[in-house]
Amino acid sequence: MLISPDDRLPTFAEIHSFDPISAWDRLTPAQQRQVAILAVQFGVVGGVLSYQHDHLTKAEVGEVSVMESDLLTNFTQEIEPLWGQLYGWTLEIPEMRRAA
């Protein structure tokens, strides 16, 4: 069982020293899968606009831009509730986690 911290934003020191490998290891397999899916969606669609695409119309570029914005918003909304785990702010109670 995880005990959530008070709702807060990370400090500069926490952001600067953030360790994504440790953060990933603190997530459950289901959480890892969801984050990975969101990252792939955002990376694939968001990366498209970083290159010249003569084959896309102006309207299509606009639509891709909206998709990218929506994916970033969704990614942020899905990740924010995990900050406690990602930053290591939660306390884990081992005996209760085993039962889960």
Cβ atoms of 1 and 90 within 8 Å: the answer is no
* Residue-range definition of the domain harbouring residue 73: 2-99
pTM assigned to the model:
0.69
Give me the number of domains the chain comprises. Answer: 1
Residue 40 carries which side chain, given as an amino acid letter? V
Q: Running DSSP on this structure, what letter comes out for residue 9?
A: P
- CA pair distance 39, 56, nearest whole angstrom: 24
At 91, is the pLDDT very low, low, confident or very high (cuts 50, 70, 90)? low
- Condensed to tens digits (0 to 9), the pLDDT of residues 6-60 reads 567 888 999 999 999 999 999 999 999 999 999 898 888 877 776 777 888 989 8
Q: Which two tokens stand for residue 34?
A: 């969801």
By the 8 A CB rule, do 2 and 85 touch? Answer: yes
